[in-house]
Amino acid sequence: MRWRIKSDPDPKKVNELANILSVDKIIAKLLLQRKIESYDEAKHFFRPSLDDLHDPFLMKDMDLAIDRIEKAIKNEENILIYGDYDVDGTTAVSLVYSYLINIYNHVAHYIPDRYDEGYGISYQGIDFASDNDFSLIIALDCGIKAIDKVDYAKKKNIDFIICDHHRPGEKLPMAIAVLDPKRTDCNYPYDELCGCGIGFKLIHALSIRRNPLDKDPILSLIPYLDLVATAIAADIVPITGENRILATYGLKVINTNPRNGIKALIQNVNKDQLNITDVVFIIAPRINAAGRIKHGQHAVTLLTETDLDTAKEYAAKIEQFNLHRKELDKQITKEALLQIDRNNEKEKFTSVVFDENWHKGVIGIVASRLIETYYRPTLVFTKSGDRLAASARSVKGFDVYNALQACSEFIEQFGGHKYAAGLTLLPENYQKFKEKFEEVVKKTIPTELRTPEITIDTSIHLSDINPKFHRIINLFGPFGPQNMKPVFTASGLRDNGYGKKVGQGGDHLKLSIISGADQKTYNAIGFGMGKKFNLISKGNTFQASFTIEENNWNGVTSMQLNIKDIKEENIEFFNNDLILQ
């Protein structure tokens, strides 16, 4: 792994901010690295406030969207809430539906079938709306490229409001309103909201319009933030700006009074407080499993259920879906790795694999698993009707969406983000696409991006770590993209002789580290670090990169180092950043 230590801020600024805030210089340095340079900026950072959310009407077309919803309610039209089958889509549908159903009866929700209809707005979904007399569809987490579908709906006298956060194409659908901060003509101050976040801005705007005398309408919407926080965590959007505010308050709802569906999902989790990482690994996979294995509608049914006992029954079914998902994920990953080996493709710049029998619902997970073994842009294909469908995943720093765009001559349809995308193509174009994708990536990916990187905030002495320091570090959360948990490095370390391999097959390391500075012992765990045992044995000094975590064991809470990597001490400088090879 490559270690990159962030450049140090101006020492004068570090001293000034440390004095203003009465904090350690290390804390001041971490804040400056996050572009927090004043008392007021630090106050907003450490105390996220709903008051700092932007006016939803700053979003392009928001007024048109609210006008159309108000018209539908006044004329007693049927409204269909339509969304994608992943976590972001199903939480967004659950949020908008559960808000509207409280003020208006003629509302229903619709999630497309992953296998029969595919991603996004479908002709089948529009036909369903037409057959059941829906005249307004609110599409969430999809639709930004559904030009033909929206035109088709218009011919059936169905209007669309699109709430999406994906990159628009050159042309926008002819919907009544297109809410997407990534529109080039949209001046909304924050463009990193997820689909559920756009849905929340919609109900916030509707609440403002419907309650003009309410000085703080956002307060009544706090119970919906458990859904928004779940979507933010699952969709891997930046935890900055509005996302950080929404995630902070959403986690409070999850940990105090979540909706019954989420309460049922986490009832067996033995944790007092869930953080963003817990949401990613506990709540999100279970919600996702519904759409992957059965149907996304199961997730919406769970998340909108008001009776706890019924919600527990739905959650039990989803738990079974998730167990099945794990089995498929494990088996398909094994088969994909064998395919790469069999085709002598270990040294390529990309991984592109295909089997017509692979389950479409887990190919995205499998793509991520393959990157753990072969660190390179990856696509996993399976058969979907008369087409091949793929999920694409990328490595840090490389834009797979742009790479796919360069291969568009062989693609029927694609969409997504910098690091994750989906596409379909004709079977006869698979090999041509595979060769072109390899060629594009080989030409455009910088050499350093082919090796996993650990970004380190700063070096410290282990003696700098104390309960107050750890408490302030925790206030930097919720953690996620562009606001990751601080990673530190320390040198001159050695194990006290009791370090050992633990876990099945000795995959992990459990250490008691002594720092040369104070000779105090620090407990540490290194997941997946078993192979580094030789570097810490026999009294060898070493350098480690790590985060600081809480360890709860038998009711006792203590601090421990979560080791990310271990190296011999060999320092070089490169591009003004400290690089440890």
Instruction: Please give the pLDDT value at position 519.
Output: 72
Prediction pTM value: 0.90
Q: What tens digit of pLDDT does each residue of 278-306 get?
A: 999 999 999 999 988 889 999 999 999 99
Tell me the CATH number for domain 56-316: 3.90.1640.30
53-62, 111-120, 127-136, 310-319: least confident range: 111-120
149, with CB counted inside 10 A (0-12, 13-18, 19+), is: buried
Evaluate if residue 573 carries a pLDDT over 70.
Answer: no
- Report helix angle 25-33 to 467-474, nearest 10: 20
Instruction: Please give the pLDDT value at position 580.
Output: 43
Instruction: Please give the pLDDT value at position 576.
Output: 40
- C-alpha distances in Å from residue 30, one per residue of 33, 35, 469, 488: 5, 9, 12, 11
Give the separation between CA 369 and CA 229, rounded to whole angstroms: 25
Q: Contact at 8 Å (CB) between 162 and 56?
A: no
Nearest residue to 72 (alpha-carbon basis) of 128, 125, 141, 134: 134
Instruction: Please give the pLDDT value at position 412.
Output: 92
Residue whose token pair is 């619709």: 110
Evaluate if residue 564 carries a pLDDT over 90.
Answer: yes
How many alpha carbons fall within 13 Å on the CB side of residue 465?
26
Give the separation between CA 312 and CA 45, rounded to whole angstroms: 37
DSSP letter at 422 equals E
Nearest residue to 293 (alpha-carbon basis) of 149, 85, 448, 139: 85
Give the separation between CA 229 and CA 262, rounded to whole angstroms: 12
Instruction: Please give the pLDDT value at position 540.
Output: 84
Mean pLDDT of 331-356: 96
Instruction: Please give the pLDDT value at position 572.
Output: 44
Q: Contact at 8 Å (CB) between 362 and 344?
A: no
264-273, 320-329, 349-358: least confident range: 264-273
Beta strand segments in 35-142, E: 78-83, 107-110, 134-140
Give the separation between CA 503 and CA 529, rounded to whole angstroms: 11
Three-state secondary structure string covering 327-367: HHHHHHHHHHHHHHHHCCCCCCCCEEEECCCCCHHHHHHHH
**Omega within 30 of 0 (cis) for the link into 486:** no
Identical fold at 56-316 and 343-450?
A: no
Q: Is 119 helix (H, G, I), strand (E, B) or coil?
A: coil
Tokens of 502: 């633990």
Tokens of 408: 């568009």
Tokens of 44: 């907003």
Evaluate if residue 42 carries a pLDDT over 80.
Answer: yes
Tokens of 404: 């796919």
Evaluate if residue 258 carries a pLDDT over 60.
Answer: yes
Domain ranges of the chain: 2-7+453-580, 56-316, 343-450
The CATH label, of 1.25.10.10, 2.60.260.20, 3.10.20.70, 2.40.50.460, for the domain at 2-7+453-580 is 2.40.50.460
Q: What mean pLDDT is reported for the chain?
A: 93
Nearest residue to 237 (alpha-carbon basis) of 269, 190, 303: 190
Evaluate if residue 574 carries a pLDDT over 70.
Answer: no
Give the separation between CA 321 and CA 90, rounded to whole angstroms: 16
Tell me the CATH number for domain 343-450: 3.10.310.30
